[in-house]
Structure 1
């Protein structure tokens, strides 16, 4: 016996991946490292999309000031300047190639399965609400620097996947495989 699948077509999670990657490319374009610095990584290959120096950003990405401009989470701006929108916008920005790659691979692996199972409305809401929750937790613990990334949203999806696994535990025939896919 296999768990029931509603066989929804997963379109939203791939769309979220495209948006995240597109915003990362936009951040590199806005950053335009070669016009501000001579110490850019891969400038000959990427031109205006070159990364900041490894000293400034070891994750191969834009500068912190570019991320701030685009909506990175800064507690001071949220609290004192009432820029509450940063609680949502920071979940769509990433600090570097390594950061966006890790988050998007995780989003595809977990998100598509959940979207096929539960549909785009539930998973979309879970993603957005978890991203907001992750931003709020980040604001509580990180007060001196900026925060970006979809990790809070991804942890929400992992929680949804764990909840589905525990709720439907009795109908899985290959429990070892299901546990393995969750742990990856």
Structure 2
């Protein structure tokens, strides 16, 4: 999460124009700060789904494999975890994840179970996976919801998860995938586009932009490790990045004070021209991306056939590990 001093401090522009020469305190007084409730609800929902997942998994009853060993934390009864050799993240079996809606290409395309593009975002492979994602959601999501409200951030979160699922399904077709990472990367992408579209109201612009870019690069770099679905990250990030231009532009300060200003300096447009252009372009790209992605997916297209080098976006083989490009 970026420091509030870098991303939220409103400064005084260099322009001498009366409609642009505003102080940070003046602009802050015109903004509405929301009480964050949707992000906590999302966190509670994810935890509740994980509890239900473990209840249905019921390791002591269903684990009959001698290969992986005994259930972990057996004192939890039916909530105990699968053997670590089977699931090192302290979670359920792949069969249970698949049963409850994990992302699986075959069932989406040939089983007509498109709902998995949504449900997979609410499932987590294990307790470690859940805790890491929920901490990230709290750190990033609450601040964004306080600034922009539950409606915008809720739409971004849900659509980013959906976009991540589409891209993941196009490339990962033999394994299952779960997690809220696509939605979380969407919020990260939104932070970057919000900074760009509201560029004029921020101080320390270069530092804020550099910090965000480093965060994005580091997080995406982690995704090239094996067993991490980086396509969900990329799809979610791109969706959130485009939605930020559409949903999160800040009005000009003069728009708030237009009734108190002289007629010759009154601001007639709520947003600046470049904000309208960026928003329209992003909306067109978003609609085109979702349309093309869904058409390719339900036609059974294999993403690697159209981009043979894209496997490097998901995993880079080294002397320490190999990659399963399927």
TM-score computed with the length of structure 2 as normaliser: 0.53
Q: 5 Å matches for 1:3-152? A: 4=28, 5-37=31-63, 39-44=70-75, 46-152=76-182
Deviates more, 1:46-55 or 1:166-175: 166-175
1:28-57: CA deviations, max 9, x gaps?
11001011237101112x221110001111
Q: Which residue of 1 aligns with 2:316?
A: none
1:25 shift after superposition: 1.0
- In 2, Cα distance between equivalents of 1:36 and 1:76: 25
- Which runs of structure 1 show a deviation greater than 6 angstroms over 4 or more consecutive aligned residues? none
Cα RMSD of the aligned pairs, angstroms, is 2.0
Tell which deviates more after alignment, 94-103 or 173-182.
173-182
Q: Is the 8 A contact 2:192 2:212 kept in 1?
A: no
Cα deviation for residue 113 of structure 1 reads: 1.0
Following superposition, the deviation at residue 168 of structure 1 comes to: 2.9
- Give ranges in structure 2 of 5+ residues lacking alignment: 1-10, 12-23, 64-68, 217-326
Q: Structure 2 CA distance, aligned partners of 1:177 and 1:167?
A: 13
The TM-score with structure 1 as length reference comes to 0.91
Task: Mark the runs of 5 or more structure 1 residues left unpaired by the alignment.
Answer: none
When Rg is computed on C-alpha atoms for both structures, the one with the higher figure is 2
Q: 2:72, 2:199 → 1: CA distance?
A: 48
Q: How far is 1:74 from its partner?
A: 0.7
Of the two structures, which has the highest relative contact order with CA contacts closer than 8 Å and spacing of 6 or more? 1
Q: CA–CA distance in 2 between the matches of 1:55 and 1:6?
A: 50
